[in-house]
Amino acid sequence: MSTGQNAPDFSLKNQDGVEISLRDFKGKWVVLYFYPKDNTSGCTAEACDFTAALPDFKELDAVILGVSPDSVKSHQNFIQKQNIAFTLLSDEEKETAKIYDVWKKKSMYGREYMGVERSTFLIDPEGKIAKIWRKVSVKGHADEVKTALKALRK
């Protein structure tokens, strides 16, 4: 996965159980971000930061799509509890996470397990990957993405 290549298309169910595909957003900028789990501290902070910045992203003609292995029902709960104002996609089979190479071996307290590596892909209106952030640190990330989007739109 590298900048300049076509972003792999996918179809996943959103928080309402409606199937959404990347191709649905052709002609718009897409902030596609992968996160490990609904209602955890880092993932909540990231979702809330993107929600707070949503008016700026809309002004830049960009949509935000959050993807995690959580269920549609979990996403509904997360959105309601945290007032998230953008689409969350359910990747329970981890197929999209694998395609985007964010399903990784991780370790915590000496225990190894598979999980989502927090990552963001900025996709241009033609469907090409314009920028990639891997191993994202939550603090300031939404602003970092917004700044990159502004620069790329010039």
Active site residues: 43
The b/e string for 34-70 (b: 16+ C-beta within 10 A; e otherwise) is bbbebeeeebbebbbbbbebbeebeebebbbbbbbbb
Do 86 and 53 form a contact (C-beta atoms < 8 A)? no
Both tokens of 107, joined, read 């370790």
In this structure, what are the phi and psi dihedrals at residue 75, rounded to the nearest 5 degrees? -65, -40
Q: How far apart are the first and last CA of the chain?
A: 24
